[in-house]
Amino acid sequence: MDSDDEDSGQKAMQVAGAVFSKSKDIGEKHGATILAVLILFGLLYFWLVVLPKPLTVTITLAEADSNATVSGAQVEADYLASPYIFTSVKTSRAIPKSDGRYEFSGVPSNTEGIVLRVRKTTEYENYNGQISTEGSAKTMPVTLFKKTLLRMESTFVSGSIAPSCTKAFNVPILNNDTENDAEVALLSDKLPYFKADKRVISAGETANATFSITTNYPDSDKNPAFVSGEVRIRGTKASVVANITITKKPDLSLDTNEIQNKIGETKLVKITNAGKGAITGVRLAMDDSSRRLVSLTGLNENSAFDLEAGQAKKVYITSVDAGIGIITVSADCTAPLQLPVKISAPD
C-alpha cells in the first residue's frame, strides 16, 4: 500500500475515534437525561394508546310501545376491559338522572362488553342483556316490558285468508287477576295492514281479543303461501305467533235466484263454493219478515261454516206464512248474496 492510502486510512481511523470519544463523553454527561426522556415518551405512549380511557355510559329506560320514560329502577353492570392484566370484572350501579337516564362513570373505553341488569320488580319485567361501548355509542336505549296477569290461551293463531281480503281473527285471553278488569290492545309489526280494537276483559274471565289483517294481493299463483308474525299484548311480552295461509280466490254462489213457494212447500237451496280457494265464515241471515215466513232445516241462522273449493251446503227452506222477505248469504272475502223470498197462500 502506498503512502497516500496509508494517510487516508489513518485519517479515517482518527475521525472515527474522535466521534466515539465524543459520544462517550455525551453519554457520560447526559445519559440520565436521555433515559428520563425515553421513559417519559414510553409512559406517554402507554397513557395515550394502551391505557383504557374512562368514559360515561348512559342507559335510557323506556316502556315498550308507549316509550314513556321509566324512573326508580335499579341498574347494575358487570364489565371487563382489556388488557386484562390491568383490569378485572367490576360490578357498578348506575347513578339515576332525570328522564329515565342512568349513568355509569369511569367505564374503560376499550370495554368489550357490559353485562347489564335492570330491576323494577313491582311494575316491569327484569332486563338482562349485553351492551357495548364500541364506536361512538355512549348512550344505550333499553326497553322494559310491563308485568301482566293477562295470559294467552294458545301459543299460535292459524287460519286462512283470500287475496284482496280483510278478515278478522280471534285470540282468547285469560285475565288471571281475580279482582281487577284489564284493558287489552293487540299489536303486530309483521302482519299486513294489522288493526285491532281495545277491549276490556273482566276479572278472572277469558274473552276473545280480535284483530284483522288485509291481503293486498291480486289472485295470482305468485302470491306468498302464508303471512306470519307475532301478535303481542301492548306493553307486555305476552304474545302468540300468527300463521295465516293465503288461499286462491273464492266464489260464493247459489243454485237459485229466489224462493217462490206456497205455504207448506219446501225448497232445496245449495250454497256452493265455485272458486279455487276455501271460503270461511259462510252465514245465512234473514230479515224480520223472512223469519216469519220460512223455517230452515240443515242450517241455523247465523251459524258459520266453511266451504272448500267445489263444496256445497244444502239448506231446506219451508214456507210457513204468506209475504215477502230477503235472505242474505255472506262469507269472508266474498260479496254477500241476496235471496228474495215470496210466499203465497195455497190456491
Tell whether 44 is covered by a domain: no
Tell whether 39 is covered by a domain: no
Residue 21: pLDDT band (50, 70, 90) is: low
Mean residue pLDDT across the chain: 86
Closest CA to 215 of 175, 263, 177, 160: 160
279 touches 250 (CB < 8 A): yes
Average pLDDT over residues 105-115: 77
- How confident is the model over 40-59, as pLDDT tens digits? 666 555 445 555 667 788 99
Determine which of 54-63, 76-85, 164-173 has the lowest per-residue pLDDT on average.
76-85
What number of residues does the chain have? 347
Listed residues 126, 144, 162: the one ending a domain: 144
Tell whether 308 is covered by a domain: yes
Q: Please give the residue range of the domain that contains residue 89.
A: 54-144
- How confident is the model over 203-226, as pLDDT tens digits? 999 999 999 999 988 888 888 999
Cis peptide bond N-terminal to 83, omega within 30: yes
Average pLDDT over residues 109-123: 83
Listed residues 84, 115, 144: the one ending a domain: 144
Structural domains counted in the chain = 3
201 touches 173 (CB < 8 A): yes
315 touches 297 (CB < 8 A): yes
- Three-state SS across 102-164? EEEEEEECCEEEEEEEEECCCCECCEEEEECCCCCCCEEEEEECECCCEEECCCEEEEEECCC
pLDDT for residue 113: 73
Tell whether 12 is covered by a domain: no
Do 308 and 241 lie in one domain? The reply is: no
Q: Longest Cα pair distance anywhere in the chain, in angstroms? A: 159
Model pTM?
0.71
Do 79 and 115 lie in one domain? The reply is: yes
Q: Which residue has the higher pLDDT, 4 or 183?
A: 183
Burial class (CB in 10 A: 0-12, 13-18, 19+), 311: middle
Closest CA to 334 of 264, 254, 266: 254
Residue 38: pLDDT band (50, 70, 90) is: low
Do 64 and 111 lie in one domain? The reply is: yes
Tell whether 317 is covered by a domain: yes
Tell whether 15 is covered by a domain: no
Do 170 and 235 lie in one domain? The reply is: yes
Distance (Å, whole) CA 109 – CA 113: 11
Distance (Å, whole) CA 114 – CA 294: 74
CATH of the domain at 118: 2.60.40.1120
- Kind of pairing, strands 156-161 and 239-246? parallel
Do 161 and 136 lie in one domain? The reply is: no
The residues, ordered by sequence, that sit 6+ positions from 167 with a Cβ below 8 Å of its Cβ are 159, 161, 212, 213, 280, 281, 332, 333
Tell whether 24 is covered by a domain: no
Do 193 and 224 lie in one domain? The reply is: yes
Listed residues 216, 246, 276: the one ending a domain: 246
107 touches 54 (CB < 8 A): yes
